[in-house]
């Protein structure tokens, strides 16, 4: 047999892609300590921490409005399953963390959906999980967005828009309701 035939089967690695956006990222350089466009390997038993304290966080955000530890990600395997997942925990006493439509207070945690938007303060992070098999480690791959991850800064913009593309908030005190449109009409 050749050495190729005797080699161990290569495992795929779970990769967490995170695309970061801050409206003043060019002026304030809040992401200058993050390593963009290069995959980083993290041991499965380590917690990936994001915040401003470099002694506690591997992913440092250079902003005094960010907590020493803003949030943490833990890699785990679901009970009685081979599915590998992440959970996210808010570590900030002052700032709530939004994961899609779920608001997390201090020490609250939730499973990280395979694709979601994480928000706190002016920060927007699109997180996407690329599944893998390895239980020894995972990888992170950070990206920088030039445009906002959300179209608007406030999360209510994630709510469904009526078919006629006029939200009810457009008529706060006028007592008018949106008019019905044919589904073939464009907005």
What percentage of residues in the chain have a pLDDT greater than 70? 75
pLDDT digits (tens, 9 = 90+) for 103-117: 999 999 999 999 999
Contact between residue 70 and residue 50 where contact means Cβ atoms under 8 Å apart: yes
Mean pLDDT to the nearest integer, 66-71: 97
Do 70 and 51 touch, CB atoms closer than 8 A? yes
Tens-digit pLDDT profile for residues 139-149: 999 999 999 99
Helix (H) or strand (E) holding 167: none
Q: Is residue 163 part of a domain?
A: no
Domain CATH number, residue 73 = 2.60.200.20
Q: What does pTM read for this prediction?
A: 0.75
The answer to whether residue 57 sits within a structural domain is yes
Angstrom CA distances, 22 to 108, 161, 173, stand at: 24, 25, 33
Mapped onto helix, strand or coil, the DSSP state of residue 157 is helix
Q: How confident is the model at residue 150 (pLDDT cuts 50, 70, 90)?
A: confident
Rounded Cα gap, residues 61 and 92, in angstroms: 14
Residue 134 lies in a domain: yes
Mean pLDDT computed over 73-92: 93
Residue 64 has pLDDT above 80, yes or no: yes
The residues pairing with 135 across neighbouring beta strands, listed in sequence order, are none
Within-domain flag for 118:
yes
Q: What range defines the domain where residue 90 resides? A: 12-158
Overall number of domains in the chain: 1
Residue 26 placed within a domain: yes
Residue 3 lies in a domain: no
Give the distance, in angstroms, between the CA of residue 128 and the centroid of all CA atoms in the same chain.
Answer: 7
Q: Is residue 171 part of a domain?
A: no
Instruction: Compute CA distances 157 → 16, 148, 153, 167, 172, whole Å.
Output: 25, 13, 8, 10, 16
For position 152, what pLDDT does the model report? 46
pLDDT at position 160: 45
Q: Is 174 within the bounds of a domain?
A: no
pLDDT tens digits for 157-181? 344 444 454 444 444 444 444 444 4
């Amino acid at each position: 047999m050749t050495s190729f035939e005797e080699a161990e089967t290569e495992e795929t690695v779970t990769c967490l892609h995170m695309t970061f956006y801050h409206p003043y990222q060019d002026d304030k350089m809040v992401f200058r300590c993050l390593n963009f466009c290069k995959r980083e390997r993290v041991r499965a038993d380590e917690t990936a921490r994001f915040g401003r304290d470099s002694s506690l966080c591997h992913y440092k955000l250079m902003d005094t409005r960010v907590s020493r530890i803003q949030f943490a990600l833990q890699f785990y395997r679901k009970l009685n399953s081979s599915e590998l997942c992440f959970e996210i925990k808010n570590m900030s006493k002052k700032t709530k963390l939004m994961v899609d439509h779920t608001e997390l207070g201090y020490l609250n945690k939730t499973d990280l959906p395979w694709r979601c938007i994480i928000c706190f303060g002016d920060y927007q992070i699109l997180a996407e999980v690329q599944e893998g098999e390895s239980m020894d480690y995972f990888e992170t791959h950070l990206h920088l967005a030039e445009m906002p991850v959300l179209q608007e800064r406030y999360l209510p913009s994630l709510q469904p828009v009526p078919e006629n593309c006029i939200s009810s908030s457009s008529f706060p005190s006028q007592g008018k309701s949106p008019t019905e449109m044919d589904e073939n009409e464009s907005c």
